[in-house]
Structure formats: C-alpha cells, structure tokens
Amino acid sequence: MPRPMTDRSPLAPAAFPALPAIAGVTLRVAKARYKNWDRCDLTYVELDAGTAVAGVTTQSKCPSPEVEWCRDAIPMGQARAVVVNAGNANAFTGHRGRAAVEAIAAKVANHLSCQPSNIFVSSTGVIGVPLPIDKAEAGLEAAFTAAPCGWEDAANTIGTTDTYAKGAHVSAMIGDTRVDLVGIIKGSGMIAPDMATMLGYIFTDAAIDPALLQQMLSAANKRTFSCITVDSDTSTSDTVLAFATGKAGNAPLASMEDAGADAFAAALSDLCRQLAHLVVRDGEGASKFIEITVEGAESDASAHRIALSIANSPLVKTAIAGEDANWGRVVMAVGKAGEPAERDKLAIRFGATQVAAGGLALDGYDEAPVAAHLKGQDIVIGVDIGLGEGRATVWTCDLTHGYISINADYRS
C-alpha cells in the first residue's frame, strides 16, 4: 500500500516552501475515493482564458490514455484546466480508459464553456484498472464547488507513494517586470529518465508564446527530468506540463531573441532541476542522494549513458546504501555501458577524494575520507573516461530493503 505521508524520507526538506499565488491559477482538491483511503485524491486546477501550455510526456511504448490525450492537446497551445487523479493510473485499460479521459475532459469543458482539448488530464497509481467514470465525475462535482486551496494541499493530493509534498518557486525579470514560476510534482518510484517518470505541473504568470514555452521546457527537461533515476523503470504515465497565464503584464516572449527570454529560460531550468531533485530525494526506500558526473567521454550523449549505467546499477546503489567504498562496482558499471572507454585511462573519485586512475587504485589511497563521505546523505561520484570532452551529470538514490517492502505491498 502507498506509504503514509508521515513516514517521511530522511532526505526530505524540513518543510514545504512558501509559494506565491500565480494570477490566473485556482487550485481545488476533492475526494473521488479511487482507493480505500480517506484523503483527497482529485486535483482540479482552473486556468484563466488565454493560458498557454507546453508539455513533455513519457517515451514508454505503453502510454496511458491520459498521456495520449495530452500529446494531442499540447500542440494546440491553449489550456483552461488540468485534472489529476491519484490512486489509479488508468493505464493498460483499453477503450474504457480512453472513455474515462474523454468523460473527464467533457465534464470540465462543459463547466468552463470551452473545448475539451483545453482540458489536460493525468492519472497515477495502479496500472491495469480502468478509472471509474462515476467516481471521477462525482469527484469533479465536489471539486467545482470546493473552496480554493494552497499549493501544499494540491501537491499532497497528486501523490501516491510520495512521503512528502513537493514544490518549488523561482522568479525572473522580463524587462522591468518580475514573473514568478511555481511547480509541484509527484514521484517516488518507477523513476527512470525516459523523459521523466513523474507527474509535474509548472505555473507562471509570464506572457509567452506556446511554441517558445515548449522549446524552453523541452530543453530544460533534457538537463533535469531526463537526468534522474530511482530504479531504472519508466512509467506509463509520465507527464510534465507548463502553463503560462500571461497575467504578469510583461512584453510577451515570442523568441529567444526577445529581451528577458534567456532569464526566463534559466529560471525554468532551475525550477525543473529543483523539482527533479525533490523526486530523487523521495525515492522509495532512499537514504542517500547521489550525484554522478561523468566527464572525458567521447560525447555528451556517451557520458550520459555511462552515468546512467552507474546510477542504475543495483551493485553500485547497494554499496552506497551500505556505505561501502567499493569503487570496483563503478568500474563494472562503466564497462557494461556499451560506450567507448579504456581501462587504463579511467579515473574515479568519491567526494573530493581520488580513488583510482590509470587502471588501478592510487598509490597511498586512504579509504578513510571516502568512508566518511559515504556516511553522509549527499554522495558525489566522479568519473573521468579520459577520451574526449563529453560530460553529463545524473542524480539517483541508493537501493535499500525499503524499496522492496514498498513495492511488494503496493497493491495490497
């Protein structure tokens, strides 16, 4: 069964951050009761007319109907609402799953007097169980009349096995106008960077063309959400959506050549990185946050694949969980990646301590500082392939008995 929110990850932030309201965004939550739990599990976000949208979705070949719906709607560039269902992924549910998405979109569109294509739908939870249309519609009726809520309530409501609500905020200057960006995200397991394995929602009051917002989000995703992994498993339901209400009053951004576009893009990337890290820090059973940087590869893409090979290795992850300075497991993971590498040019460090180079351990290598580093919660592993200029950084967590317990009991 999903972990209760009270069993917080040891890597969780001390508290949910104070996030500003975004003009043109109204949050509401309700109980659809998709599972046998007494908690809100339907999030309804209403967006003012004229809101631009962009998004990225899972690369899974077995996507949910919600993902397919969003893929069709994103290119139209306009949004009026997003509905997030927690407790039921509605994936691998055939025509019944598609009918549920259509019914949700139609009901919200009728409520807002807009086109169904302006409504975005996401679901997360158990795969293979059709989303009950009657519960979804009843939940929406309750949400339509619910009092507006804050970001933390919305962030809690989209969670499943998450142990804490996840949110972040950044701002940027576009000319003389300050714009705000707020994001909430859920994710804890089934996390692998095949886009991103999560549901994430970003809201800004900036005025920006949908095509430019899409360009910026895709670029930010490549450097952030697509650089995290908990367990190497890619979800059927991954979706990250960005909504821009245009209420800040800035001169609208239409091109990267426009003044302030660089600042906004940097802020968006920063927000995505913060959200991505929050997901890894809530990895199922996690006790260590691990940053892996690979440099000296033949290309950035090669460095990325080598870094993921290290990050996804159960042997590396369990060694970190056990605070064991077993750098030989890193060598193994580099060698199995299928990317260009030469044993006698390889160098490895843990934290600030170089442990191996030139195909063997360094002369006089002292394991004590490495052991001390591994006792901390934030672990850094560096690898130099020694072949070129390629570089990449990915983020992961360790693998503990907790991961097994959570997932063995998930459907019970």
25-76 residue pLDDT tens: 999 999 999 998 999 999 999 999 999 999 999 877 788 899 999 999 999 9
pLDDT computed for residue 403 by the predictor: 75
Considering the chain, what percentage of its residues have pLDDT values greater than 90? Answer: 80
Which domains are assigned to the chain?
25-281 (3.60.70.12), 289-408 (3.10.20.340)
For the cut 80, the answer to whether the pLDDT of residue 4 exceeds it is no
Read off the pTM: 0.91
pLDDT computed for residue 409 by the predictor: 67
- Count CB atoms within 10 A of the CB of residue 402: 18
pLDDT computed for residue 192 by the predictor: 54
Tokens found for residue 352: 């600030």
pLDDT computed for residue 96 by the predictor: 94
Catalytic residues: 197
pLDDT computed for residue 251 by the predictor: 97
- Count CB atoms within 10 A of the CB of residue 408: 9
pLDDT computed for residue 61 by the predictor: 79
For the cut 70, the answer to whether the pLDDT of residue 195 exceeds it is no
pLDDT computed for residue 196 by the predictor: 41
The confidence band for 3, taking pLDDT boundaries of 50, 70 and 90, is: very low
pLDDT computed for residue 6 by the predictor: 47
For the cut 80, the answer to whether the pLDDT of residue 111 exceeds it is yes
pLDDT computed for residue 197 by the predictor: 47
Q: Give dist(CA 412, CA 392) in Å, integer.
A: 39
Q: Does 197 carry a binding-site annotation?
A: yes
Tokens found for residue 139: 């939940």
Q: Does 412 carry a binding-site annotation?
A: yes
State the average pLDDT over residues 359-379.
93
For the cut 60, the answer to whether the pLDDT of residue 5 exceeds it is no
The confidence band for 94, taking pLDDT boundaries of 50, 70 and 90, is: confident
The confidence band for 125, taking pLDDT boundaries of 50, 70 and 90, is: confident
The confidence band for 258, taking pLDDT boundaries of 50, 70 and 90, is: very high
The confidence band for 405, taking pLDDT boundaries of 50, 70 and 90, is: confident
Q: What is the mean pLDDT of the chain?
A: 92
For the cut 70, the answer to whether the pLDDT of residue 142 exceeds it is yes
State the average pLDDT over residues 240-251.
97
β-pair type (353-357, 360-361): antiparallel
Please report the beta strands in 58-106, taking only residues with DSSP state E, as ranges in sequence order.
Answer: 78-88
The confidence band for 402, taking pLDDT boundaries of 50, 70 and 90, is: confident
Considering the chain, what percentage of its residues have pLDDT values greater than 70? Answer: 93
For the cut 90, the answer to whether the pLDDT of residue 270 exceeds it is yes
